[in-house]
């Protein structure tokens, strides 16, 4: 796969020359494809095109745009893979604590906890829900709330609030159940 581009600003020489790229540039439309091709030895999952698995299913790789995470069964294979990865991409390899909005916490017993505590706090604080508690209330059907509705809508961006809460409910089914 080859990619060419116009001469960058400041390098034009008045000709219509183009530059043949030796490697992909960040931000190019083709960049994710170039990156994914570096993992040809991995099987890309049909169920999730961001998930790659090596032949013996000992290394799992998740790639999303320019970010990725690796999980391996064997530490020796993992270290070898990480070394190759650093050489190929000149990337920083760090333990993961945060990925795509999920907090990942490594526990002392070797297990991990995945949660969105920070996002929940942001939603709570943004919509001023610190004192919000579930309450069972029976409404009189003849009661109309139109008098107060306009005032409430001025104070709270309801679409954002409902969207944020629905997202949390879907992602964390247990969050809203007791």
Q: Are residues 106 and 91 in the same domain?
A: no
Choosing from 95, 127, 162, the residue where a domain stops is 95
3-state helix, strand, coil in the chain (%, to 5): 35, 20, 45
Range of the domain at 85: 1-7+20-95
**Per-residue pLDDT tens over the stretch 44-101:** 888 888 888 988 888 998 887 767 888 888 889 888 888 888 877 777 777 788 877 7
Q: Is 21 exposed, middle or buried (CB count within 10 Å of its CB: 0-12, 13-18, 19+)?
A: middle
Q: Are residues 104 and 161 in the same domain?
A: yes
Q: Are residues 3 and 85 in the same domain?
A: yes
Average pLDDT, the chain: 78
Q: Are residues 118 and 50 in the same domain?
A: no
Q: How far apart are CA 62 and CA 53, in angstroms?
A: 9
Task: With a cut of 60, say whether residue 175 has pLDDT above it.
Answer: no
Task: With a cut of 80, say whether residue 147 has pLDDT above it.
Answer: no
Q: Are residues 114 and 171 in the same domain?
A: yes
32 confidence band (pLDDT: 50, 70, 90): low
| 65 within some domain | yes
pTM: 0.53
| 122 within some domain | yes
Residue among 65, 106, 61, 102 nearest 85 (CA): 61
| 141 within some domain | no
Who wins on pLDDT, 21 or 63?
A: 63
How many CB atoms neighbour CB 131 within 10 A? 6
Give the rounded percent of residues in the chain with a pLDDT score beyond 90.
Answer: 3
pLDDT at 53: 92
């Amino acid at each position: 796969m080859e990619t060419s581009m116009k001469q960058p600003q400041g390098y034009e020489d008045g000709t219509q020359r183009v530059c043949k790229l030796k490697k992909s540039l960040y931000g190019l439309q083709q960049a994710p494809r170039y990156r994914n091709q570096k993992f040809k030895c991995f099987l890309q999952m049909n169920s999730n095109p961001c998930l790659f698995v090596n032949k013996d299913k000992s290394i799992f790789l998740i790639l999303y745009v320019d970010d990725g995470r690796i999980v391996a069964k064997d530490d020796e294979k993992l270290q070898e893979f990480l070394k190759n990865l650093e050489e190929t991409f000149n990337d920083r390899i760090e333990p993961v604590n945060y990925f795509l909005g999920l907090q990942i916490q490594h526990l002392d017993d070797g297990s991990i906890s995945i949660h969105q505590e920070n996002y929940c706090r942001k939603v709570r604080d943004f919509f001023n829900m610190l004192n919000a508690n579930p309450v069972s209330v029976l409404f009189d059907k003849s009661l109309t709330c139109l008098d107060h509705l306009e005032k409430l809508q001025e104070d709270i961006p309801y679409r954002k609030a409902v969207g944020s809460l629905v997202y949390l409910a879907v992602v964390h089914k247990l969050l809203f159940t007791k």
